[in-house]
Homo-oligomer: A and B are copies of this chain.
Amino acid sequence: MEKPYAIGIDIGGTNTVFGVVDKRGQIIEQGTIKTGKHSEVNAYMDDLVKNLQIIIDKVGGTANIKGVGVGAPNGNFFTGCIEFAPNLPWKGVIPLAQMLTDRLGIPASLTNDANAAAIGEMTYGAARGMKDFIVITLGTGVGSGIVVNGQLVYGHDGFAGELGHTTIRRQNGRLCGCGKHGCLETYASATGVARTAREYLETTKDASVLRNLDPKEITSKDVFDAAQSGDALAKKIFEETGSILGEAFADFISFSSPEAIILFGGLTKAGNLIFDPVRKSMEENLLPIFRNKVKLLHSELKESDAAVLGASALGWEVKDL
């Protein structure tokens, strides 16, 4: 009999969330532990496995679980290791997939968060039935998961799909956390929007409710609220952000000619404030043969469930032990 469930685990800097998921993408059981509580990875694994075992037992034991998928920062699909993740408490290379497999007796597989999101959209979400698409995650940073020919693009070393670090501004580009200048992430993430807001407030005299805030404390949420209430400067900030994203998307399309680009994450809550300028700028910058062909879609995964769903989608694909 086919095993009815997969487990998805999303490891973030603060929390680790996990769940048992069925084939239709319903989360049947779930739980969470604090990632940061354990500075030693074996203690973390003990805590995680103890809590996983509880929900595994609730759904009839390991015999009912096809596989475990994990989404984690710097997760390498090929090696099953988390490699030098700056936001996690464990340093160096952590063979996480193997540690889980050994302790649970269930095959486990690992990738980074954005790749997990892409597999999640393909399995349960907006990309069902698509063989070529790109998921762009617009959160604190800009992540990406690329699917070509029905397969996730991992590249020869497992690190493909770093579209947030392609260069969108080559002159006077903003300094990025990666050490480069002008990365897409420095403009088109939540922090990029806040940065643009501070720049506009400094370099223009335009009236704006954002001037009532401490510039250092401005967040993308503040800019969104201001834009919603009709603030012209705040709307301009979203237009500029969307326009830059659209320029970048036009180049991504020249690479893999996807059926759709699917947007996921905090910034997408801005809806048409961001989608409209993205679409306009993308079409303007596209090579003629690609125009009016590529869908720009919202993720169809509920944000609170998406990380676990995405990771669980990887769990369906693992090889049996």
Residue of B nearest to A74 (CB): B289
Given A148-B148, A153-B149, A169-B170: A287 in contact with B178 (beta carbons within 8 A): yes
Interface size on A, residues (CB 8 A): 44
**A315 interfacial contact with B, CB 8 Å:** no
- Report the copy number of this chain in the oligomer: 2
A155, B258: Cβ atoms under 8 Å?
A: yes
Docked CA distance A164–B259 (Å): 20
Q: Mark A122-164, 1 if CB is under 8 A from B, else 0.
A: 0000000011100000000000001011010111111111110
Task: List chain B residues, Cβ under 8 A from A180.
Answer: 285, 287
Docked CA distance A167–B248 (Å): 9
Q: Which of A160, A252, A285 has the most CB of B within 10 A?
A: A160
Distance in angstroms from A134 CB to nearest chain B CB is: 10
Given A151-B149, A157-B293: A166 in contact with B251 (beta carbons within 8 A): yes
B258, A255: Cβ atoms under 8 Å?
A: no
Distance in angstroms from A147 CB to nearest chain B CB is: 10
**A279 interfacial contact with B, CB 8 Å:** no
B132, A162: Cβ atoms under 8 Å?
A: no
Task: List chain B residues, Cβ under 8 A from A170.
Answer: 168-170, 247
**A219 interfacial contact with B, CB 8 Å:** no
**A250 interfacial contact with B, CB 8 Å:** yes
Task: List chain B residues, Cβ under 8 A from A252.
Answer: 255
B179, A247: Cβ atoms under 8 Å?
A: no
A159, B289: Cβ atoms under 8 Å?
A: yes
Q: Mark A168-182, 1 if CB is under 8 A from B, else 0.
A: 111100000011100
Task: List chain B residues, Cβ under 8 A from A130.
Answer: 156
A288, B156: Cβ atoms under 8 Å?
A: no
Residue of B nearest to A284 (CB): B180
Docked CA distance A316–B276 (Å): 46
Task: List chain B residues, Cβ under 8 A from A159.
Answer: 257, 289-290
**A254 interfacial contact with B, CB 8 Å:** yes
**A165 interfacial contact with B, CB 8 Å:** yes
B156, A254: Cβ atoms under 8 Å?
A: no
Query: Chain A interface (Cβ within 8 Å of chain B)?
Result: 130-132, 146, 148-149, 151, 153-163, 165-171, 178-180, 247, 250-252, 254-259, 285, 287-290, 293
